[in-house]
């Protein structure tokens, strides 16, 4: 990661924050984007206090003008990220027959359209500078299998779209030396993990999940972050269009006991 700039959306918390911190720890300069400006600044400040370099920008990835403005600011500062991690995401649950269209649209706007807009602006900058690079999107086991807890209609659809976006972009931009991959994190200790779980219920849900995940625990955010950084690195120079599953064995496990 040395001498590279890595841009991370959703870097104010969870996997995005862990990725930005780890990239900086490995020598990269970090561009920290989040809709929560205070959280973005906290992440950037932590990097700077540790001796790294970071820029924090408020950005709602579902807002086309906001994403374009963020990349315009980077261009004005002569900052060109060699790597992109599109980690911004929301999870607003609900069964399909009860799901308001506004909630459906909000999830897709952040998770799928947000990933597209970040990729679009980043790809345009890379092509204009004739620079090779690597992007990592964040999919989910929900893109490949129905979640037992249910009520993930919008989230699953958005992540299925992210997975299709990943493979399509990988093929379209490979000839430019641009790689596009996705990580598929399983249950991870992040605010998003508990977005639809009441605080009083979380210890019980955590214990049940630990029993259901083959590795017997939830992931620390740093674990999928390390997967993302490997995909960004030269060690993955011949890897594009792939899904790096880091889910503790969730997708490998059959749902029946016989």
Query: Mind listing the pLDDT tens digit for each residue in 173-216?
Result: 999 999 999 999 999 998 877 777 778 888 888 888 888 999 99
Check residue 194 and give its pLDDT. Answer: 77
Catalytic status, residue 173:
no
* Active-site residue (options: 155, 190, 218, 228): 155
Closest listed residue to residue 13, CA positions, set 225, 234, 253: 225
Residue 257 has pLDDT above 90, yes or no: no
**DSSP per residue over 89-112, as a string?**
-----B-GGG--HHHHHHHHIIII
Q: What 3-state class would DSSP assign to 182?
A: strand
Residue 170, pLDDT score: 98
pLDDT above 90 (res 220): yes
pLDDT at residue 30, as a whole number = 98
- Picking from 10-19, 35-44, 45-54, 195-204, which range would have the lowest pLDDT averaged per residue? 195-204
* Cα(217)–Cα(224) distance, integer angstroms: 14
CATH fold of 5-246 reads: Rossmann fold (3.40.50)
Residue 256 has pLDDT above 90, yes or no: no
Asked if 6 and 30 touch (Cβ cutoff 8 Å), the reply is yes
pLDDT at 240: 98
Q: Are strands 83-86 and 29-34 parallel, antiparallel or unpaired?
A: unpaired
Mean pLDDT, residues 135-152 taken together: 92
Mean of the pLDDT values across residues 50-70?
A: 98
| pTM attached to this predicted model | 0.94
Kindly tell me if the per-residue pLDDT of 123 is higher than 80.
Answer: yes
Confidence at 42, pLDDT banded by 50, 70, 90: very high
Q: Up-side HSE of residue 255: CA atoms within 13 Å toward CB?
A: 5
pLDDT of residue 51: 97
- The domain ranges of the chain are 5-246
pLDDT of residue 205: 84
């Amino acid at each position: 990661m040395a001498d590279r700039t890595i841009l991370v959306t959703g870097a104010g918390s969870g996997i995005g924050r862990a990725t930005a911190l780890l990239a900086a720890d490995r020598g990269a300069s970090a561009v920290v984007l989040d809709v929560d400006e205070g959280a973005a600044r906290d992440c950037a400040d932590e990097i700077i206090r540790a001796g790294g370099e970071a820029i924090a920008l408020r950005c709602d990835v579902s807002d086309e003008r906001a994403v374009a403005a963020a990349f315009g600011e980077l261009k004005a500062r002569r900052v060109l990220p060699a790597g992109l991690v599109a980690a911004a995401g929301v999870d607003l649950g609900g069964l399909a027959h009860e799901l308001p269209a506004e909630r459906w649209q909000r999830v897709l706007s952040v998770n799928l359209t947000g990933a597209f807009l970040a990729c679009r602006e980043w790809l345009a900058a890379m092509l204009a500078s004739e620079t090779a690079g690597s992007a990592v999107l964040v999919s989910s086991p929900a893109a490949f299998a129905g979640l037992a807890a249910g009520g993930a209609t919008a989230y699953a659809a958005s992540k299925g779209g992210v997975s299709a976006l990943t493979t399509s972009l990988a093929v379209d931009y490979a000839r430019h030396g641009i790689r596009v991959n996705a990580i598929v994190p399983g249950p991870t200790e992040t605010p998003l993990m508990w977005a639809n779980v009441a605080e009083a219920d979380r210890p019980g849900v955590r214990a049940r999940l630990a029993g259901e995940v083959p590795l017997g625990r939830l992931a620390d955010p740093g674990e999928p972050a390390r997967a993302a950084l490997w995909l960004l690195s030269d060690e993955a120079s011949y890897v594009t269009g792939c899904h790096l599953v880091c889910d503790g064995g969730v997708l490998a496990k059959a749902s029946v006991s016989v």
